[in-house]
Amino acid sequence: MNTPIGIRTFDSHFECEPLIKPFGFKGNKITNVWQVAVLLESNEGDKKIGLSTQSVLWSDPRVFVEHSEYDGNELMYSITKYALDLVKGDSYIDPISLLEDIFEDIFSYAKKITGHRDLKKTFVLNALVGFDNAAWLLYASKHGINNFDEMIPPIYRQGLSEKHNRVVSIPVVGYGTSIDDIIQMAKKGFFIMKIKIGAPGTQVEMLEKDKEYLNAIHGAIGDLETPHLPSGKIPYYFDANGRYENKDMLMRFLDYAEKIGALNQIAVLEEPFSDEYQENVIDITDRGPRVAADESSHTDKDTLVRIEQGYNMIALKAIAKTLSMTLKIAQLAFAHKIPCFCADLTVNPILVDWNKCVAARLPSFSDFNSGLQETNGWQNYKNWEKMCSYHPIPSASWINTRDGFYKTDEDFFEKSGGIFHTSSHYEKIFQS
């Protein structure tokens, strides 16, 4: 598959989707999410549309706080448009090599327009998701591929070699989510919940708020039973989004968890520290929880550093760091026997299935004989039902969660979650 794919023309659009209420994480809140659509046309006239959702706050919170929500999104979108201008008239063999060829140029541009010489690489990768997805779809079309397994280059297939018949659906519990809402999610069958900690305020204020929230959650659902785990207890999955400034503060949080009898139920601590915090975390994992890298695992090289520091779980984000980079990270993790799962970026229903294509193929680990995937768009978008109608196969059996799982049956794998099908909604955007 070394036939070059020439890029003749391109186009891009975005839609701003409001949230039901402000969604809090990383010590701040967002009120809407930009849905970016990228169209690439090959020299042969083949046209493909790739989608992305932008998250300035997740990608680099410094850029978020320096601008209005609109202006921050506009900055990220300008990076998408710069990438498109850069590749017009060029050709590529495969999307991974394309990303490798253009990334540093785009990264330099992004640092210039944001004013941050140390800009997070995730800021650029997030901007390139729609572009990368369109490049993959052109690549697949060029080679007569209509299946996700066949699209993955052979050297990256080991890390995505399973075919689970179900994927655990993980909702998010953001700042201010009521205890009643958490109880209702548990009653609906959700047995793993991603709980945002790292509350707004100083480090001392943050710790006290996090302890108070943990106490309330543990008191409400700590004794609830689940048939899906040997322990019979609902595990806690905490995401600090890099808010803890040092290990001492986190240990104090774990000390409190142990004091109230919650420590044994903490399964995952995701991104407790910023990526500037370069210390070993083995003394944390020795206490029981897995420590997962997310934002700080910008690239495969960054992921290797985290693994060497004792991080023993990786949150994959094909919908935030590009599928191309995700394949490299997943294969690296597999080689080091580090389990992975898929995290969300409050993405739209079509991107949920791009992520699901990865989650359903990840190797099993620990007590789970299934893939794991966070999805929270259904919780947060004001127009979620309407957005679901944009999916090319909206009534598919794998679209909705049932009893805490997505059903990834034979039909799901045969149709690759619908990612190779065209959405009429996004086609119409480019026809108008």
Residues 286-321: tens digit of each pLDDT: 999 999 999 899 999 999 999 999 999 999 999 999
77 pLDDT above the threshold of 90: yes
Q: How far apart are CA 158 and CA 89, in angstroms?
A: 34
Backbone angles phi, psi at 25, to 5 degrees: -165, 165
225 vs 396, higher pLDDT? 396
- 5-146: CATH number: 3.30.390.10
pLDDT at 276: 85
26 pLDDT above the threshold of 90: no
pLDDT at 364: 85
CA 57, 31, 132, 328 torsion-angle sign: positive
pLDDT at 278: 86
**Domain residue ranges in the chain:** 5-146, 154-423
Q: How far apart are CA 314 and CA 303, in angstroms?
A: 8
Distances (CA, A) of 315 to 105, 215, 297, 373: 27, 26, 8, 9
367 pLDDT above the threshold of 80: no
pTM: 0.95
Mean of the per-residue pLDDT values for the chain? 95
Task: Identify the three-state secondary structure at position 366.
Answer: coil
- pLDDT tens digits for range 381-428: 999 999 999 999 999 999 999 999 999 999 999 999 999 999 999 999
128 pLDDT above the threshold of 90: yes
Mean pLDDT of 181-186: 92
Mean pLDDT of 233-251: 93
Reading the block at residue 250, the tokens are 């986190």
* CATH fold of the domain at 154-423: TIM Barrel (3.20.20)
Q: How many CA atoms lie within 13 A of 367 on its CB side?
A: 12
SS3 of the chain: helix, strand, coil, percent, to 5: 45, 20, 35
Which among 356, 358, 315, 363 is positioned nearest to 335, based on CA atoms? 363
